[in-house]
Amino acid sequence: MLQQLAKNINTDFPFLKDKKLLIAISGGLDSVVLTHLLAQLKYDISLAHCNFQLRNEASNLDEVFVKNLSEKLKIPVFSIQFDTLEYAKKQQLSTQLSARKLRYDWFEKLSENHAFDYVLTAHHADDNLETFLINLTRGTGLDGLTGIPPVNGNIVRPLLKFSRAEIQKYALENNIKWREDASNAETKYVRNKIRHQIIPVLKELNPSLLKTHQKTTDFLQQSQEIVTDKIQEITAEIITKETKHGNDFIKINIAKLVKLSNPKIYLYQLLKNYKFTAWNDVYNLMYAQSGKKIITKTHTLLKNRNFLILSSTNKTENTTNQNISINKNIRKITNPIQLVFENISEKIISTENSIIVAENLLNYPLYIRTWKTGDYFYPKGMTGKKKVSKYFKDEKLSVFDKNNTWLLCTADNQIIWIIGKRQDRRFLSNEKTTKLVRITN
């Protein structure tokens, strides 16, 4: 197995050579064997052990075992204890998901603080099959059937081609000791139930199940590459990216999307990384009234006329109901937007991003705020007044644009400027004006 692993690393993971590696070690069979193998192959390795405090004294004995192993092999070790149950309660997550998040967040910190190039985990072929079956029973797309990725960012899994039986055989032949987790035998967990009750039956039907599954995974991964290529092609045709008010937006052209052979599937592929789950609602949003939207913890998807517009939720929903005060002596602000105030002596032409106003008409302190129902102003170049909401509608602004458009107002709440869009004519200078202020966005 040692020679085979060396060969696999040279073929599949040549980038590991001469790198600083961190092995995630539980004390169990798989991670202990991985540690011994890489130590024999003279890689620059350190160990990282998480004590999740879920199995009372057994968890502490695992930690002691790993520390003793590191001393025996003369390998640096990092260990940490987590109150996993308390974390799960606060975050409203399952114990397993909590442990996973705590583990990988810690690995990331260790990598940053100690300059580790890669984190290695001991996932093997049986883990890959179990994950495939779990995803299959829960319902999944192609992504869920392509298996555990050998490389995912800085996470590398060099044992994926080896079975649990091969790993155990190597340990026994080389007198390697490890810790058994008694919870692995309990069938109350989905993974353990599949491991102990389902897979043995499948292996009876097909003794070469792991090899067969590996072939299937290879075929699915190749199919996924074709899908990825097609999605990239479609993305170039129907998606545009914009940046407004410091926020990034993705616009999906609905008219072009519905002409595709299966718009729902294409929409899923385009948006699957943005935490949406109610895919029927996402699909139906294409045919909904303009202004309708779906919000997740991370993103908002808005129907705006002929487009679906995607943006980060925390960037599009957090600007309302803010009032920023500007005193007369302030010459520049940068938050929430940039404005520069300059006294000038000669009148110059105003633009969307720069207006000229009569200083004597400015009632300080000025305020910057977002719009609210009932707001109105007197648009430059027009007669009469106009509701800001009507102006937004006429300009065909999306909800995102409205929420990120700021108004410059006087102390008595008169609108001076819909910033970056239209000036109020009440604050224009005339022939008798001697002092002018240029306000630039």
Binding residue ranges for ATP: 26-31
Q: What six digits make up the tokens of 429?
A: 């200078």
Cβ-contact 170, 1 below 8 angstroms: yes
DSSP code of residue 346:
S
Contacts of 341 (CB under 8 A, 6+ apart): 326, 330, 331, 332, 437, 438, 439
Residue among 28, 19, 20 nearest 159 (CA): 28
Q: What six digits make up the tokens of 289?
A: 């009234």
DSSP code of residue 302:
E
SS3 label, residue 20: strand
Q: What six digits make up the tokens of 7?
A: 């060969």
Binding residues: 26-31
Cβ-contact 160, 4 below 8 angstroms: no
Helix (H) or strand (E) holding 213: helix 209-238
Which residues sit opposite 20 in a β-bridge?
44
How many whole angstroms separate alpha carbon 122 and alpha carbon 126?
11
Burial of 373 (0-12, 13-18, 19+ CB in 10 A): exposed
How many whole angstroms separate alpha carbon 56 and alpha carbon 437?
71
Residue among 386, 414, 384, 388 nearest 401 (CA): 388
Query: What φ, ψ does residue 302 adopt, rounded to 5°?
Result: -115, 135
Which residues sit opposite 50 in a β-bridge?
80
> Angle at CA 131, nearest 5°, toward 128 and 136?
125
Burial of 289 (0-12, 13-18, 19+ CB in 10 A): exposed
Task: Count how many Cα atoms sit within 13 Å of the Cα of residue 73 in the half-sphere of its side chain.
Answer: 26
How many whole angstroms separate alpha carbon 10 and alpha carbon 18?
12
3-state helix, strand, coil in the chain (%, to 5): 45, 20, 35
Amino acid at 249: F
